[in-house]
């Protein structure tokens, strides 16, 4: 990442408040040397909060925003207030080239709507896709998309998602040729919809792309670590994501209940504490925070609304890596190569 690159942060968007957002930005400042920030929000409140982070003050500037997008705001309402809200102004900084990326913990629907309207799509991309990392039993996380931006897609959309997801995995997972699979109801070639089967055939023939297409993957294999990118429509992806999150909470609550049920269980907890702490860390959503709207003509990262300062730092780190590796250029080049070969 160059010293001149700046990240615009919607400082008012998180559920946990301005203090947590600034603490997360301060952590990122220590982690990424040379990074600079544009903090967008209530100027007086931000200046007051920066008193607790003197090292961040020197690496930041403040852009005042008189308004905030709330969790209840509809995308249409958010668009009408884009010029006055901290989220809208942060996105506009990217549009005008005054920031290399924007990070927000605010309303997902509003962020998507404003980002798409302001930044537009990359040439050759029909629709944006929401991508995020999920923990696996393998050597690295798995990138999954789309997670809710598009409920209905065709084979062309799925192919574009695969190209974008592979480019993203090369950036955030440092993989030269990510293993890509399509989420399906079975692994046999005749399973699934016409769109999925058609996308599979075209991806299997695209030997020139910097990815390794492995075919179909079922939901029960998503966390095994057998692939690096899982591609699906936003309807299935959103259900899958929330099922995984719910299962993680279920396991954590079940273990907590089991270990507190008796004196013997409490002793067992103390003995197994290193293992349970490792499990807690592996399933911590803050470690995997930072969903990305791929396909836009600019970088926008969505941090979880309830993210801790560690989660905010993680989301900013995702944005920094995308800027460093010029992800938008990678996606455009890969898609151009695919379409040229297909033609």
The rounded distance, in Å, linking the Cα atoms of 191 and 168 is 27
Spatial CB neighbours of 140, under 8 Å, sequence gap ≥ 6 = 173, 175, 225, 228
Phi, psi (degrees; rounded to nearest 5) at 292 = -130, 140
Q: What is the arithmetic mean of pLDDT over 286-311?
A: 88
Query: What's the rounded mean pLDDT across residues 242-249?
Result: 79
Output the 3-class SS for 20-69. HHHHHHHHHHHHCCCCEEEEEECHHHHHHHHHHCHHHHCCEEEEECCECC
What percent of the chain has pLDDT above 90?
A: 52
User: In whole angstroms, how large is the CA radius of gyration of the chain?
Assistant: 21
pLDDT value, residue 246: 81
Q: Which fold has domain 126-294?
A: Isopropylmalate Dehydrogenase (3.40.718)
At 269 the pLDDT is 55
Which bin fits 61, alpha (ψ -120 to 50), beta or left (φ > 0)?
A: beta
The 3-state DSSP class for residue 162 equals helix
- Average pLDDT value for residue range 226-230: 96
3-state secondary structure of 312: helix
- Does 270 score more than 80 pLDDT? no
Q: How many CB atoms lie within 10 A of CB 186?
A: 11
Which residue has tokens 């050759």?
124
> What 8-state DSSP symbol labels residue 85?
B
Using one digit for the tens of pLDDT, what is the confidence trace for 206-221? 888 889 999 999 998 9
Return the pLDDT at 343.
65
| pTM metric for this prediction | 0.86
3-state SS, residue 192: coil
Lowest mean pLDDT among 26-35, 134-143, 185-194, 332-341: 332-341
Handedness of CA 103, 105, 106, 110 (dihedral sign): positive
Please identify which residue in the block is written with the tokens 């996606």. 331
Domain segments of the chain: what residues? Answer: 126-294
Tokens of 34: 């040379």
Question: Residue 238 pLDDT > 70, yes or no?
Answer: yes
pLDDT one-digit tens code per residue, 108-130: 889 999 999 999 999 889 999 99
User: Is the CA virtual torsion 266, 311, 65, 116 positive or negative?
Assistant: negative
Average pLDDT, the chain: 87
Is omega for the bond preceding 41 within 30 degrees of 0, making it cis? no
The predicted model gives 306-333 an average pLDDT of 90
Mean pLDDT of 276-301: 75
Residue 282 has pLDDT above 60, yes or no: no
Instruction: Express each pLDDT in 141-167 by its tens digit.
Output: 899 998 988 888 999 999 999 999 999
Instruction: Read off the pLDDT of each residue in 40-55 and give the average, rounded to a whole number.
Output: 93
Asked if the model's pLDDT at residue 41 lies above 60, the reply is: yes
């Amino acid at each position: 990442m160059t010293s001149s690159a700046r990240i615009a942060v919607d400082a008012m968007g998180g559920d946990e408040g301005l203090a947590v957002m600034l603490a997360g930005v301060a952590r990122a400042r220590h982690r990424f040397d040379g990074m600079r920030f544009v903090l967008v929000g209530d100027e007086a409140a931000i200046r007051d909060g920066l008193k607790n982070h003197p090292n961040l003050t020197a690496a930041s500037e403040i852009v005042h925003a008189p308004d905030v997008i709330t969790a209840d705001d509809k995308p249409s309402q958010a668009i009408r207030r884009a010029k006055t809200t901290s989220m809208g102004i942060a996105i506009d900084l990217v549009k005008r080239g005054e920031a290399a990326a924007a990070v927000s913990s605010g309303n997902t629907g509003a962020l998507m709507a404003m980002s798409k309207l302001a930044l537009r799509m990359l040439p050759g991309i029909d629709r944006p896709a929401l991508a995020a990392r999920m923990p696996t039993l393998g050597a690295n996380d798995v990138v999954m998309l789309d997670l809710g931006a598009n409920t209905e897609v065709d084979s062309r959309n799925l192919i574009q998602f695969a190209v974008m997801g592979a480019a993203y995995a090369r950036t955030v997972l440092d993989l030269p040729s990510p293993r890509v699979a399509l989420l399906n109801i079975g692994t046999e070639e005749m399973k699934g919809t016409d769109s999925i089967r058609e996308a599979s055939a075209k991806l299997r023939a695209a030997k020139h792309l910097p990815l390794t297409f492995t075919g179909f993957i079922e939901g029960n294999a998503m966390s095994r670590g057998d692939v690096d990118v899982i591609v699906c429509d936003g309807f299935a992806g959103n259900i899958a994501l929330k099922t995984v999150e719910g299962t993680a909470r279920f396991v954590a609550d079940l273990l907590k209940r089991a270990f507190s049920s008796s004196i013997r269980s409490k002793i067992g907890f103390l003995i197994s504490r290193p293992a349970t702490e490792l499990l807690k860390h592996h399933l911590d959503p803050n470690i995997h925070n930072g969903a990305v709207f791929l396909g836009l003509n600019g970088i926008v990262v969505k941090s979880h609304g309830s993210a801790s300062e560690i989660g905010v730092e993680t989301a900013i780190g995702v944005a920094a890596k995308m800027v460093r590796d010029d992800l938008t250029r990678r996606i455009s080049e890969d898609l151009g190569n695919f379409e040229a070969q297909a033609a």
